[in-house]
Amino acid sequence: MRIATAMCALAVALAACSERPASGWAGYVEGEYVHVAAPVAGTLQALEVQAGQTVAAGAPLFRLDAQPATDAAAEAEARRRAAQAQAANTASGRRADEIAVTQAQLAQARSAAERAAAEWQRQQALQREGFVSPQRVDDARAAERQARDRVAELEAALRVARLPARGEEQAAARASADAASAALAQVRWREGQAAQRAPVAGLVAETYYRAGEYVAAGQPVLSLLAPSARVARFWVAETERGALAPGQAVQVRCDGCGAAIAATISRIATAPEYTPPVIYSNGQRQRLVFMVEARATSASDAARLPPGQPIEVSR
């Protein structure tokens, strides 16, 4: 009888030991890494940091070869100056020397017109006295008209030389200058992107390239882990899901982390998942779990959670 009683007590004790506390869950720490890349391609000229180093926000991280971008910026600058000069040229008349040439031609034409008019009058007088034929008078009259037309032509040319280009031409020239300025801004932006700085303060988790290697555009060169970018991720049974809510306080414990870390639930997965075997039946509903994420309430506490570290979470 005593042996049976002892065996029953031992069985109860073992069952109690095997049960998980009602308010505790297992999980691990997940790191939210910032992968720093350059939007331009190039050869890695200098890697300013190394893995395991802590950097401040704005600290230099790496630098690509910027010579191609610098050359492109110089070309874009030259194109911009040319477009701006063209736009300024359309807003003014012709050069002073060109106008002076037209003025000289106009003076010559006026003198020729005066001589042609005098010759016509002289031929008319001679024709009235019978010394010349009517044909000579007609030729003199035609020469006088031609001289006057030449004067009118040069006067119009002088007015045009003093005018700026037409409004449509000026608008087109200004648009070309604006486009050249925008192209220069883009090239200068790309030139500036060859050197990258830390977007956040944190730990350099990994470096993926060495100086001298070619880096494609958008390819991460290194990863950063901010102190607050560490998430306690754990799973709760579907029967306990309703007792949790975002904003609820929890306690996180892990080996070597010291005292319990105060955290707040930030997310509860909307879709459930199964622990193996992935078979849904009424008899295996305890295998249906929801992922929950919690964040430490302070950055100093978050820094005590190394990514990958197994944790225990309780309320």
Please give the pLDDT value at position 246: 95
The parent domain of residue 303 ranges over: 20-32+226-314
Integer CA distances (angstroms), 20 to 15, 24, 25, 57, in order:
10, 7, 8, 43
Is residue 105 in some structural domain? yes
My answer on whether 172 and 105 are in the same domain is yes
Contact 313, 250 (CB under 8 A): yes
Is residue 56 in some structural domain? no
Please give the pLDDT value at position 279: 41
Please give the pLDDT value at position 163: 62
Is residue 9 in some structural domain? no
Please give the pLDDT value at position 137: 81
Is residue 174 in some structural domain? yes
Q: For residue 299, give the nearest of 266, 265, 261, 267 by alpha carbon.
A: 261
Distance CA 288, CA 260 (A): 28
- Retrieve residue 70's tokens: 């610098």
Q: For residue 65, give the nearest of 46, 92, 87 by alpha carbon.
A: 46
Please give the pLDDT value at position 166: 58
Please give the pLDDT value at position 91: 63
My answer on whether 177 and 250 are in the same domain is no
The domain boundary, picked from 129, 163, 187, lies at 187
Distance CA 115, CA 281 (A): 118
DSSP one-letter code for 238: T
Chain-centre distance of CA 164, in angstroms?
Answer: 39
Is residue 50 in some structural domain? no
List the CATH number of the domain containing 308.
2.40.30.170
Please give the pLDDT value at position 214: 95
Map residue 97 onto helix, strand or coil.
helix
Please give the pLDDT value at position 280: 43
**For the chain, what is the domain count?**
2
Please give the pLDDT value at position 22: 46
My answer on whether 236 and 133 are in the same domain is no
> 230-237 and 288-296 as β-strands: parallel, antiparallel, unpaired?
antiparallel
Please give the pLDDT value at position 313: 94
Task: Specify the pTM.
Answer: 0.59
Is residue 303 in some structural domain? yes
| pLDDT beneath 70, residues of the chain | 1-23, 89-95, 161, 163-170, 275-286
The domain boundary, picked from 159, 187, 215, lies at 187
Answer positive or negative: Cα dihedral of 232, 235, 238, 240.
negative
Map residue 272 onto helix, strand or coil.
coil
List of residues 6+ apart from 288 with CB closer than 8 A: 237, 238, 272, 273, 274, 280
- Scanning the structure block, which residue is given the tokens 């009235």? 128
Q: For residue 46, give the nearest of 63, 68, 69, 27 by alpha carbon.
A: 63
DSSP one-letter code for 113: H
- Residues comprising the chain, all counted: 315
